[in-house]
Homo-oligomer: A and B are copies of this chain.
Amino acid sequence: MKLAIMGVGAVGRSVVDLAPDYGHVVTAVADSSSAAVDPSGIDVDAVFDRKERGGVVGSGDPEDALDAEYDVLVEATPTTLGDAEPGFSHVRAALERDRHAVLANKGPVAERYGDLMALERESEGTVQFEAAVGGAIPILSTIADFGPSQISAARGVLNGTANFVLSRMAAEGLGYEHVLAEAQDLGVAEADPAFDVDGTDAALKFVILSNVLSQGERVYSLEDATVEGIRDIPASALDLAAEDGRTVRLIGEATADGVRVGPRLVPQHDALAVSGTRNIVQFETVNAGQLHLSGRGAGGPETATAILSDVGRLE
């Protein structure tokens, strides 16, 4: 397949790197200021060399990538809230040309799901977004395989930064600010950590899960979610929990009652009490009990793997 990649952060770059292993050709890449387009496959080294040196990936405008020859548009620009732009317009451009769109960007799927599904219905192209929920973990493909009506609820840990902070606080008896600074040093937390520690990122993922599980009966967005973050959790709360054999995790839920994200007490050795940046999702199934899927929920190659699995499903 021919791929056009929008966004050249860690995820976009990993897709460019791994695409040949899956037999695909990258015909266009774009960041927010420029694009490189070549119908026979871009010169990857030249593109990233230019990006390193001068900050541009190529001589074209970003929109040139949208007009390029491709089968699948990969939307890997940063997640934005509200109108979810420019990601939403990128996906619309692909679907209006009857091309497929694969998203790592959570914005369009969590904030404009109804619009997205309406565009897909009018298009010969298909929308996939496994990479938007839980990185490498095959969460959406498992829902598709089971059938959404066979899964009554999803719960779990889908933000590695918050989980790293909480598990370090519990293991070392350290305070939130101290562990957050450590996480920032390690590159596990952003300079502005609000998106992760306030629960927004996890909430977007559980909004997406609710959209998939409800099969269009109801459309959810971040506004419908009840969200509480982890900034105000004192180290003493983790100590108290530990005395009782429990710990605290930032748990999200997508159930018939809606979307909720917040700190919850869980048994210390519970399946949901994963450590470090690991993610886990627990499905309640109608006929087959609980199912757990866990793995790396973020990272360039991990997320690229989910994108390329989605591309594989479109062949």
Contacts and interface: CB of A to CB of B under 8 A. Distances in A.
Contacts of A302: 287-289
B289 A296 contact: yes
A309 B313 CA distance: 16
A163 interface: no
A136 B301 contact: no
A92 to B, nearest CB: 27
Contacts of A200: none
Interface in A137-175: 137-138, 141-142, 145-147, 150
A285 interface: yes
A23 to B, nearest CB: 10
Interface string A15-55: 00010001000000000000000000000000000000000
Nearest to A289: B296
Number of copies: 2
Contacts of A287: 14, 18, 301-302, 304-305
Interface in A273-302: 285, 287-296, 299, 301-302
B292 A288 contact: no
A133 to B, nearest CB: 14
Contact of A290 (B135, B295, B306): B295
A309 B141 CA distance: 12
Nearest to A142: B138
Interface in A245-274: 269, 271
Given A145-B312, A312-B145, A292 B292 contact: yes
A150 B141 CA distance: 16
Contacts of A295: 288-292
Given A269-B269, A289-B296, A293-B293, A145 B136 contact: no
A203 B135 CA distance: 31
Contacts of A136: 285, 288-289, 291
Interface string A190-204: 000000000000000
Contacts of A269: 269
A313 B145 CA distance: 7
Contacts of A292: 292-295
10 contacts: A136-B289, A138-B145, A145-B309, A145-B313, A147-B312, A150-B305, A287-B301, A288-B299, A289-B296, A289-B302
Given A145-B313, A288-B296, A288-B299, 14 more contacts: A18-B287, A135-B288, A145-B309, A147-B309, A269-B269, A271-B294, A287-B304, A288-B295, A288-B302, A288-B306, A289-B295, A290-B295, A291-B296, A292-B294
Interface of A: 14, 18, 22, 135-138, 141-142, 145-147, 150, 269, 271, 285, 287-296, 299, 301-302, 304-306, 309, 312-313
